[in-house]
Structure 1
Amino acid sequence: MAYTDIAIIGGAIVGSSITYFLREEGFAGRIALIERDPQFAHSATTLSCASIRQQFSIAENIRLSRFTLGLFRDLEARFGAGADIGFHEKGYLILASPAGEAVLRENHRVQAAEGADIVLEDAAALKRRFPWLAAEGIAAGAYGLSGEGWFDAHALLSLFRKALRDRAIDFVQDSVVGIRTAGGKAVGVTLAGGVTLDAGIVINAAGPQAGGIAALAGLALPVEPRKRSVFVFEARDRFDDMPLLVDPSGIYVRPEGSVYITGGAEPYETDSAADPADFEPEWHYFEEVIWPVLAARVPAFEAIKATRAWAGHYDYNTLDQNAVIGPHPEMPNFLFCNGFSGHGLQQAPAAGRAIAELVVHGAYRTIDCSAFGYERIAEGRPFRELNVI
């Protein structure tokens, strides 16, 4: 029976960020980073749309993403010469109908107070800025002038994973099938291969499977996988100034090299947990729902050709679509870093830093993540993020 000081369940961007910052904060003990799929073929990290934004409704979410933005601007200093994630800083443009204008304006007020470089414009101003945009039914839009855009998720994950190679990390390729507890503490994990690993601290960074991992320890976590399809299409016209555009319907579109990607607006409250093995895109949804919206919002998209698609799973927090960060109050050495509901990739470095500070120093130092604590889950008290895309 082996022992590790910290067992981290999930080795994609969240688990890798936690591991990286544990070493950065000076933790010298043994760390086991457990990942069942080291190729990350079905990881939420690598199947995401790999975007970063500051346009959230909650100040704490803006702070998490702004930390990651700072890391993006400092890649070479942190990871070495040539570190690059292909960051396209072209902004988000979130549109609101008259019914949604008040919420958009309130969100913008919160963003501005946090220092986010977001401009709020009416339909006429948006049309002047983006002539290809059809502004019918639009009251206003919030556009990120800087600090928002998209990047290469594989490249970001690779930077973190490579940085761990010389930091004395035990990389474990296996699935966790059991968590042993005793005296109100997590004391070890059982792997599918039959190995039992004693642990001083267990950290749940299991993405869409986090709810199941928590259940192994006898803990309730309202996080489950939700399937989201992403479609790739070609169009005759190229709009080099196009940001990541979010229609009031929730459907988004953005450039991706010589093509475009689109998705969004799947029902959030009415759908259910995805089959963990289901990664088939919902092609009918593109034809029936997405394409008509694209054609109405960007008339040049009336004639497009869908070429391929993929599906990934959100780690969806059914309580409030917000992260759960920190220890369980009744099992303090079992920590959560879960439930980001679609914005985990952009917030993982900040959340990883927060967990590392909590473990090493006993308190948050860079970003206070107390509002994301498990206590609200136990109380059924939502800390709701309104800008879930």
Structure 2
Amino acid sequence: MKQNDVLIVGGGAIGSSIAYHLASDKDFAGRVVVIERDPSYARASSALSASSIRQQFSTPLNIHLSRHGIEFLRTAPKLLDVDLALKEMGYLFLASAAGQAVLRANNAVQRGEGCAVELVEPAELARRFPWIATDGLVLASFGAANEGWFDGPSLMQAFRRAAQDRGAVYVADEVVGLGRRHVDLRTGGRMAAGTIVVAAGAWSGEIAAMAGIALPVEPRRRSVFVFDVRRPPGPTPLTIDPSGVWFRPEGRFYIGGTTPAAGNDPAGAPLEVQHREWDEMVWPVLAARVPAFEAAKVVNSWAGYYDYNTFDQNGIVGRCPAAESVIFATGFSGHGIQQSPAVGRAVAELIAHGEYRTLDLRPFGYERISAGRPIRELNVV
């Protein structure tokens, strides 16, 4: 059984970013192996993401992660030789009277972190975005810079290519057993390593359970609908209605979705589009909020999984206290693709140097879970 320096379980955006940053670190000369059970990435969350990036979070560390992420995306053509079609058109959060206090509190956090985010009253909102029906709105928050969307699948593939170019080895297999310094594979083999990184996205909880570790991460299905309209309303940021329904442009079309209704968000639900969500939840809100969307027609759709952290909806990053050789990088609850550049660099630093250097991710460590100290992210979309 050949000893590897680092085994990464999961070759999506997070796992491949870790491999890339680790293989790029001049102080690290070890062997990196990435185990990915689906090299086609047909069911990978990274490939099925809406691939957006924002700084409008309620948790300062999430803001820092995304700030690093947007800078990385801007330099990706040089660093990774890839055009990610980055479009910085902002996020627009809308609030009713019930959500006004949370929006103001979040804005205070964001402004304190230096974000270019402004609160907008309904009259000004209607002037800036005349396609919005402001009925029921009392406030909005607009990110005037450093927010938008990009080609997430291309980012994931670019990380993978760059990691391989620097010596990382990708193995197409499935982990069926996890030890402190080894993994067992579906094909019957066993691979050993000094460090094992669990970056298996929505399936990370299942992987951790193989070693008797309780990791509160599970797959939660989200449906995304691609729709066409007769008369596009004009320049549109990624907009989140008070109901939770969101939408943004995607080429000549638009995409949108929502959080499933209470009682209809089970863990590990089949990866099938929930068309009733469009009929009963998404379209009625779109038609009322944007009159130009009243005649919207769905032309495509897909479903993907969030690696949903049931504890506090924030990433779980760092060493496992019960097994120091195991590192977690998972549980991002829909924010993984935008946070992959920063998380990849941070975990690589932790492995190569024994500490975080660029961003201190200790607040997102596993210890908060065992201690029952959640860091709640209020802006989960």
TM-score, normalised via structure 2 length? 0.97
Q: 1:346 aligns with which of 322, 338, 351?
A: 338
Segments ≥4 residues shifted beyond 6 Å: none
CA distance in 1, matches of 2:79, 2:312: 34
Give % identity. Answer: 50
Match of 1:62 in 2: 63
CA distance in 2, matches of 1:249, 1:212: 32
**1:155-234 aligned within 5 A:** 155-180=154-179, 186-234=180-228
- Secondary structure of the equivalent of 2:363? helix
**1:1-389 aligned within 5 A:** 1-25=1-25, 26-80=27-81, 83-180=82-179, 186-267=180-261, 271-275=265-269, 278-389=270-381
Deviation at 1:269, TM superposition (A): 7.5
Give the conservation status (yes or no) of the 8 Å contact 1:134–1:299.
Answer: yes
CA deviations 1:151-202 (Å, max 9, x no partner) are 111211122112122211121000000012xxxxx11001101110011111
Give the conservation status (yes or no) of the 8 Å contact 2:221–2:265.
Answer: no
CA distance in 2, matches of 1:72, 1:285: 32
How many positions carry a matched residue from both structures? 380
CA distance in 1, matches of 2:152, 2:163: 17
Give the conservation status (yes or no) of the 8 Å contact 1:249–1:265.
Answer: no
Q: Which amino acid aligns with 2:227?
A: F
Give the conservation status (yes or no) of the 8 Å contact 1:7–1:32.
Answer: yes
CA distance in 2, matches of 1:240, 1:363: 47
- Secondary structure of the equivalent of 1:106? helix
CA distance in 2, matches of 1:328, 1:41: 30
Q: Which amino acid aligns with 2:72?
A: L
Q: Which amino acid aligns with 1:206?
A: A
Q: For the aligned residues, what is the CA RMSD?
A: 1.2
- Secondary structure of the equivalent of 2:89? coil
The unaligned stretches of length 5 or more in structure 2 are: none
- Secondary structure of the equivalent of 2:181? strand
CA distance in 2, matches of 1:268, 1:201: 39
Cα separation, partners in 2 of 1:309 and 1:175, compared to 1, 3 Å = same
CA deviations 1:24-66 (Å, max 9, x no partner) are 3331111111101111111000101010000000100000000
CA distance in 1, matches of 2:222, 2:293: 22
Cα separation, partners in 2 of 1:66 and 1:19, compared to 1, 3 Å = same
CA distance in 2, matches of 1:169, 1:367: 24
Give the conservation status (yes or no) of the 8 Å contact 2:74–2:86.
Answer: no
Give the conservation status (yes or no) of the 8 Å contact 1:18–1:356.
Answer: yes
Deviation at 1:309, TM superposition (A): 0.9
CA deviations 1:133-154 (Å, max 9, x no partner) are 0011111111111111111112
Give the conservation status (yes or no) of the 8 Å contact 1:96–1:247.
Answer: yes
CA distance in 2, matches of 1:374, 1:267: 29
Q: Which amino acid aligns with 2:207?
A: I
CA distance in 1, matches of 2:268, 2:164: 34
- Secondary structure of the equivalent of 2:106? helix
CA deviations 1:363-386 (Å, max 9, x no partner) are 111111111010111122211100
The unaligned stretches of length 5 or more in structure 1 are: 181-185
